[in-house]
Amino acid sequence: MDIDDVKPGFTQLRLEYSRDQYILESCEEQNGKHYFSSALCKGNMLLFGDKGETIHGPCITDKKGVLDLAFSLHCKTWISSAVNWITRSGSSWPSHNVTQSILKHGVLFVPIGVHGSPKEDIEWRVSFSVAEKLLVNTFTHTQLMCYALLKIILKDVIANDSECKDLLCSYFLKTIIFWISEELPSSVWEPDDIIACFMRCFSRLVYCVEHSVCSHYFITENNMFENKIEGRARGVLLNKLNTLHSYGWRCILFSDQISNFDVSMWNFPIEPFTLYVNDVKKMVQSRTLHFANSLFETYSELNIFNTGLLHNIWCHKFSLKHLFAYYISQRCSKQAQSLPLDVATINNKYQYKQYKSCLSTLLTNVYHDAVSGWLMVASLFYQTKQYRKALHIIRYSISKCTFDKLFFGMTLSEIHYESLKLLSFNKSVVYLMHFNVNSTLTPEELLMEGWKKQYTIPSTAYAYFLSVLCHYHLNNVSHCQDSIQDLKLVIEERYLMPDLKCTAEAYTLLGIALQLFGDKESARQAFSQSLVIYPNESYNSAARRLL
C-alpha cells in the first residue's frame, strides 16, 4: 500500500514482484515504480466478458443494464490508516468479539480512484463492506428502524427535489448511525425510546450537512462530504432538512408509503370509539361539510344546515356545546369580514372601537378548526400594520399544521385515529381560508380590480404567504426568502391541500410573493403553473395576473 499524496480512504497498490503476465499488463509505471491500475483491471475484465458490457463506477454492468458485477482485492490484515478505530472508543459497542471478527477479516480494495485526481487510474478505494455488514448485524430492532426511517425520508422526500437528489445516499445515513451507536450506551436503543433515537439520528444528519462534515466511520480523516455537499445545493438541502426537522418525528409522514397507510387493512376489534372515528371519516369526506363555509351566508340557511347536521351527520354522543361553538365560530368569521376597518384612522376613537369589535369577533372565530380561525386573526393584525403580532399568530398557526390534522377528502390513518382520542374534532381539523367578496380582511396584495369572486385558499399556503408579506413590510429580506422557500415546500408536498384547485391557489400565492420580491419571471412561471393545474379562468385569478 502506498498512501502518500492520496486522499484518505484511497490507496495505490505498488507492485513488488510478479511473473504473472495478466498482473504485469494491468500495471502502470509512475516514477520508476509499477502500480496495479484499477482502470486497466476493469478494462481487461471487459475484454474477457460478454460483448456489450460497460464500466459503471467500480463495477462492470451487463449489456441489459440489469446486473452490476464488482470485483475486489482482499487484504487480510488491518490497514494502518484505520488503526485508530481499534482503540478509539471505550463504549460497549461494538463488542470485543465483533471487533476481533472485523480485524480478522481485514479490508477490500475496490477498483475506483478519486474523481478528477491526476492518479485516478492507479488509485483504489478502501472498502469496509464486510466490517459494516458485521456491525449492522449487531443492530437492535430500534437501530434498524431508525436506519429504515432515514432511508425512507431520503428516498421519498429529499430525493424528490432535483437539487437534492444526488447529494445524500444511504451509506451516509448508515455511517451516522454507526457513530451514534459508538458514542451512546446500548441501553439507549430501546423500543420505547424510538422517537428520541430517530430524532437524535436526524439531528446529527442536519448537523453534518450544516457543517459539510461527515467523517468516515473507520478512517476519520476521510470527510465524505468534501467537494460534494457545498454551494447552493447544500443550502437547498439544509433548508429542506431544517423544515422537516421542525415537524419532529412527524416528518416521516411526508413519505407517501407511510402517510398512505390505511388502518382498514388490519382487523382491529371494533370498540365504541371506532364508531365515532367512522362518523369523523364521513364528515371529512362529506362535500356538504366542505362547502358549508362558502355557501351559507344567511342565518336562516345556517339554521337549516345546523338542523340537518344534528340529525344526519354528528354522532349522538358528541357534546352539543362543541357543536354550537363550532357554528358560532363559523358565523363570526363571516361577520368579522364585513365590519368596516379604516387602517388610516385606527387611532380615532370610533375606528378603535370598530377594530376592537372586529378583534373580539375574530377571537370567537377560532373554535371551528385548529388553524384558519387564528390565521384570520393574523390577517386583522396585518391589515392594521401590526406585523410582528401577525407573525406571532402565524408561527402559532403553523405549529398546529401537523400531520395528524384532518382535512376534506383525506383517508384517515393510524395517527389520526390516535389523535382523535386526545383532541376534539374542532381541534383536529384544518379548513380552508375563505375571504368573502369585499372582505376587509383580505390582504391588499391579493386584491384585483374587477375580480368579484370569493378567495378560497389552503391554510398552510396562506400562513407562509402572509409571513412573506409581514417580513416584506418589516424589511426582513432573509426571513422573507425563507418563507418563500417554505411556501414552495408546502406546495410541492401538497401539504393539507384537499384538491387541485387548492394547489392552483397556492401557486397563485407563490406568484404574488415572488412578484412582490421582484422576481417577475419566477412569478410568471408560478401563475402559469396555477393555470395548468386549474385552467378555469373564471375562478382562477392567475389568468388575469399574467396579463
Can you state the percent helix, strand and coil of the chain, rounding each to 5?
55, 10, 35
pLDDT tens-digit map of 260-290: 544 343 343 434 444 444 555 555 455 555 5
The set of cell numbers assigned to 391 is 407573525
Return d(Cα 356, Cα 350) in angstroms, integer: 10
Q: CA 364, 290, 382, 514: dihedral to nearest 10 degrees?
A: 170
Residue 308 confidence (pLDDT): 41
Residue 450 confidence (pLDDT): 79
SS3 175: helix
> Residue 509: which residues within 8 A CB-CB, separation 6 or more?
457, 461, 462, 465, 487
β-partners of residue 33 are: 30
Return d(Cα 286, Cα 284) in angstroms, integer: 6
> Residue 65: which residues within 8 A CB-CB, separation 6 or more?
none
Query: What are the start-end ranges of the H helices in 400-499?
Result: 414-422, 425-428, 459-473, 477-493
Residue 231 confidence (pLDDT): 87
List the chain residues with pLDDT less than 70: 47-52, 89-91, 259-333, 341-351, 367-368, 404, 406-428
SS3 486: helix
Domains and CATH numbers, the chain: 10-128 (no CATH), 141-259 (1.10.1410.40), 270-418+428-545 (1.25.40)
Quick one: DSSP state of residue 192? G
Pairing of strands 73-75, 68-70: unpaired
